[in-house]
Copies of this chain bind each other. A is one copy, B any other.
Amino acid sequence: LKGVLPPGDSSGPVWTPLVVLELASDTAEEAVTWLLRRIRDTQHNGGADLLVEQLGLGVETQKKQNPNLFLVGASNQRLLAGAEDVGLFKEYSDGSMRGFTCASKHNFKDFNGDGDGFLSMAECQYIIKHELDTLRAKDETHVPGHSHAKLYPGKSIIRRLQSKGILIQMFPLHEKEELKRLSFSWFKKLKLSLQPLDDIRHYYGEGQALYFGFLEYFTFALVPMALIGVPYFLFDWEDYDKYVIFAAFNLIWSTVILELWKRCSASLAYRWGTLSRKKAFEEPRPGFHGVLGFNPVTGREEPTYPTAKRHLRVYLVSVPFVLLCLYLSLYVMMIYFQMEGWVLSIHDEEPTFWTGILLFIPSIIYAVVIEIMNLIYRYAAEFLTEWENHRLESSYQNHLVLKVLVFNFFNCFASLFYIAFVMQDMVLLRQSLATLLITSQILNQIMESFLPYWLQRRRNKKMIRKVQKRATLQDKELPLEEQVRLEADMSTYLGTFDDYLELFLLFGYVSLFSCVYPLAAVLVVLNNITEVYSDAFKMCHVFKRPFSEPAANIGVWQLAFEAMCVIAVVTNCSLIGMSPQVKAYFPESDTQLILWTVAIEHCLLAIKFILSFLIPDVPKQIQVKLARLEFESLEALKKKPSLRNGKKHFIRGRI
């Protein structure tokens, strides 16, 4: 079953290539040979038992092109065994989701013949990635030809190659036909239907699909808020009685939608088989370093790094650094407000055309400075989180997300908080909120999809022109080799981080000051609708295909949204308490007003917590399905050793 090149065609192997490995062009010849041998070797010999072929072998590569591109695939049998290895959940013949095993493969739905087409391409690619990641060194002390790339028994070879820069990238290939179909049903046709979440999951995996599911859910969830907000805007209701109702509705509503999303995401995750899937033991991330020791869980040799030392780094360096940055950002904001006041005073003294223009200068400078600060901070946060030396990719990501989240939240909302609670200028607050929201939306859409698309297009055209010069124009389809090189040059999709961050900030605009600017929800709904299209577009046409990542929920972002909800209760209550209309109810004393505001705020917070406690996170029917699976596995375990549990026999017979 080894990959054999078809005699006439030099564009690729006969098996379906799934994943591309790109090694540095200066990789030693012996290292390449060794790596290929290890990948092809049987599992019994400690290999990965995969198929691998150099791209365009036999064809002379152009001078500038890297010859070290390798296509990786696997036999059907191997993929099924791998599916069992990674603990894939698939739909069973009775409609429940069960862990796939080769022994019981014929009991799974859609398993026909030798199981061709049973696994989606994304699943196959995920399996190959897992098998490559767990390809471990045997008795090699270093990568042949690269003595600085040390190895020790049990070390993941791919991780070492990555950390030493020998492996430049590893990415899964696009599937052109399916992509065309997906992009048509997703965003190319005009439609009034939901996104094809199952197809998205089929092509991109659960993590991506959950993001798009959340985006869609979030948009629909905001519609009631938007609808209620419109009359406030149209009829200019300045009546704070009504604002109180609007704000209270918003606060309860946002709690409810976040709780319901958990149920929604549990349903999706169950359908996609990630809800009860056990996480495989996570390998240390490529950048992790430390003294060689033994992992207490696996018993494997691997670098160890004391947790106490990491805690020290986090609490004594990272936390103070973040606080310092927040202080700096506060300082910059104060300068901005001073400049603004100064410019306003100049304009008020003798207003001319030039002072009119001058009025915009501080805002522009502030916006530019904030962007620059965000950029620098992002690099600093990445550097710091790297330096904290987290063992797992997931904990690295969590620390990075938290750092970036706090700073972005602060940068976005500090000026609004200042206007609201220090200057207490509601008109200015509404203006600033509207300006910030609209400009940030427009900028985001441009920066996020049109710019990368335009860059990508230019690059692609150059590439295709080059290809066309060389190849004859007889086949319209791009040959595999060019296709691979084209994809290798595409930008890498960096995960859903920035997409979630954007949604999070938008949610902040809607919820934090909702009682001041009820139109925010409408704007966010409109933005989200275009966001679906632009995100879908960039996933399909701008980026390399990402590896699918199994996800059962949106993780740390659920927490972030819930925290935002809690902050929103505090801000909205204080805004309403500060409004002149409400103050008019308590003419004799401010004290009464504040006490009432605080009491109501505490009640709302209590209601939020009770609500989130009362609404179960997993829908009843899925709880039953999970319980049923667990019950059956327990019963099976009991029955296994002998027939002594005859008692249970007649009961089981009734099921």
Contacts and interface: CB of A to CB of B under 8 A. Distances in A.
A267 B516 CA distance: 51
Contacts of A44: 643-644, 646-647, 649
Nearest to A154: B651
How many identical chains are in the complex? Answer: 2
Interface string A435-469: 00000000000000000000000000000000000
Contact of A103 (B135, B298, B641): B641
B85 A638 contact: yes
A297 B631 contact: yes
Contacts of A278: 630, 634
Interface string A280-316: 1100000000000000111111000001000000000
A565 to B, nearest CB: 13
B654 A570 contact: no
A48 B647 contact: yes
Specify which of A280, A300, A638 lies most central, judged by the most chain B CB atoms within 10 Å of its CB.
Answer: A638
A594 interface: yes
Contacts of A45: 646
A136 B299 contact: no
A602 B598 CA distance: 11
Contacts of A638: 84-85
A296 B634 contact: no
A138 B650 contact: yes
A115 interface: no
A627 B297 contact: yes
A342 to B, nearest CB: 30
Interface string A59-78: 00000000000000000000
Q: Which of A153, A589, A620, A650 has the most CB of B within 10 A?
A: A650
B645 A299 contact: no
Contacts of A581: none
Contacts of A591: 590-591, 594
7 contacts: A102-B641, A136-B651, A153-B654, A281-B634, A297-B631, A298-B631, A598-B598
Given A135-B647, A590-B591, 13 more contacts: A42-B646, A43-B646, A44-B647, A46-B650, A84-B641, A154-B651, A297-B627, A297-B628, A300-B651, A570-B602, A590-B590, A591-B591, A594-B598
